[in-house]
Amino acid sequence: MRTAKSMLLALAILSPLSAFAYTTDEVKATTVIKEHQTSVQKYAAIHNKPMPEIKEYTYGMKLDVAKVIRKSPDLQTCSVMPKLMTYEDSKGKLNTVQYQVLGGCRNSQ
């Protein structure tokens, strides 16, 4: 009985920590996307180009990349996170694709 109470207490203490880690990763991803879009918006304004909408990358999608404008930074997290890449195609049009990457987990060696 005492062991069960100890396990229940440990579970009650550790559960909020895992929820916090998930929320922190979600907040990081949202922040990175907002920063990327702000930077791309400035670039588009300077070069008199329309702001591109974000398109979800799908396997086999043909990309006409003439010049990479910006890639969102890698996050130091142990989960799959969204990443953005904005590029100009051969016609000079801005495009942004979102794809999923495994974060650069510091704990895995």
Could you count the other beta carbons within 10 Å of the beta carbon of residue 53?
A: 8
Report pTM.
0.71
Question: pLDDT band at residue 79, thresholds of 50, 70 and 90?
Answer: confident
What is the reported pLDDT for 18?
Answer: 47
Q: Which CATH architecture has domain 2-102?
A: Roll (2.30)
Domain definitions of the chain by residue range: 2-102
Query: Is 70 in contact with 36 (CB distance < 8 Å)?
Result: yes
Give the model's pLDDT for residue 45. Answer: 97
Using 50, 70 and 90 to split pLDDT, how confident is the model at 54?
Answer: very high
pLDDT, residue 19, reads 45
Q: What is the pLDDT of residue 6?
A: 56
The better pLDDT of the pair 75, 41 is held by 41
Predicted local distance difference test score (pLDDT) of residue 100: 92
Cα–Cα distance measured from residue 9 to residue 1, given in angstroms and rounded to the nearest whole number? 12
